[in-house]
Amino acid sequence: MATPVKLNPKQWVALAGSFGVLALLVMMWRWGGTVEDSQAYFDTARYLRGEVPASALRAPFPYRLLAPAVAAAIPGDTRNSFALLNWLCISVSAIMMALTVLRVGASRKAALIAGLLMILAVPTYWYAPYLLTDPASICARAAFVLAVVSGQPWLAALAGVTASAVREENILLLVWLLAMRRISIPAGLLALAVAGAWMVAVRWWLIPGLPSYVWAPSVQTLIAALKDVRSLASIASAIGLVLPLALLGMLTRTTAAPTLQALAQLKPLKSLLVLMALPPLYAALCVRVEGRAVWGLYPMLVPFAAIYSAAWLTRRQTGVQE
């Protein structure tokens, strides 16, 4: 097992501050914007502050209660509080991705690239400024990945429960944790029970009278999606450099031994990636999907992409020097 590369406190402060400023610059163009789904999440936060009645809520958005609840609890204007939460989530996600690659013994260059890939991405520029729950979901997934590679199953379970409270499909994180025997069966079942209890409480107790909804697969929906140029362009932009670089990192066999060792420690993320890709694939049969479907997979893709990119840049620099 590779020895983790460490940063001193000053370096971490500088890195975290840089990521925070960069994320703010990327997001400030449409800070607190609301359109389509984001309006529904904004209304959920406003409902929790008593600004709108329950009749203003639309399913399934109120079921994803945790992020709007945290935003509503932050003092100040609701719109600004929600945007602030999203900025914090993006900044922390970048930091945790950097820490993830350091945990597996990758270089500081790889850590920097990991954070930059999380921030300097089209989905971050396009979606993060809006009042959506995706930044909080991605942050919780990043925490889950970090806990897994750090060998901390209880922290992974906590991250999984939190992620499930943000978006319901994240309960698959706990399913994976249990199926891969990363946690004991009693502990895994307890985590699943807590996540399930939260969802039941939201549906039947915390917000009385929530409307029900069903995602029914439809061939017409799929055909419409294949004709939706805007959605396809959004998905393509989210794929961007991250997915190709991640695939190269997963498949590479011809690189330096330390890099191969670091990539080998990320191997469990491959099965997690496949599992977490199932909900957006199913959603594509039921509703309109866009680049956010790929963006949510970044916590599993970025570590591979960052480590491969750092190794490639090192080889290029070495070749130029020679």
Averages of pLDDT over runs of 10 residues in the chain (322 residues) are 73 93 94 88 94 87 94 94 97 97 94 96 94 97 97 96 97 96 94 96 84 77 81 92 95 80 93 96 85 96 96 78 40
**Model pLDDT, residue 322:** 36
- Do the beta carbons of residue 65 and residue 202 sit within 8 Å? yes
* Alpha carbon distances (Å) from 2 to 6, 102, 103, 283: 12, 10, 9, 39
* Burial annotation 52-61 (CB, 10 A radius, 16+ → b, else e): eeeeebeebb
Cis peptide before 299 (omega within 30 of 0): no
**Model pLDDT, residue 319:** 60
* Alpha carbon distances (Å) from 156 to 182, 281, 313: 9, 24, 32
> Whole-prediction pTM value?
0.94
* Closest among 277, 163, 289 to 217, alpha carbons compared: 289
**Model pLDDT, residue 320:** 47
- Do the beta carbons of residue 174 and residue 160 sit within 8 Å? yes
**Model pLDDT, residue 160:** 98
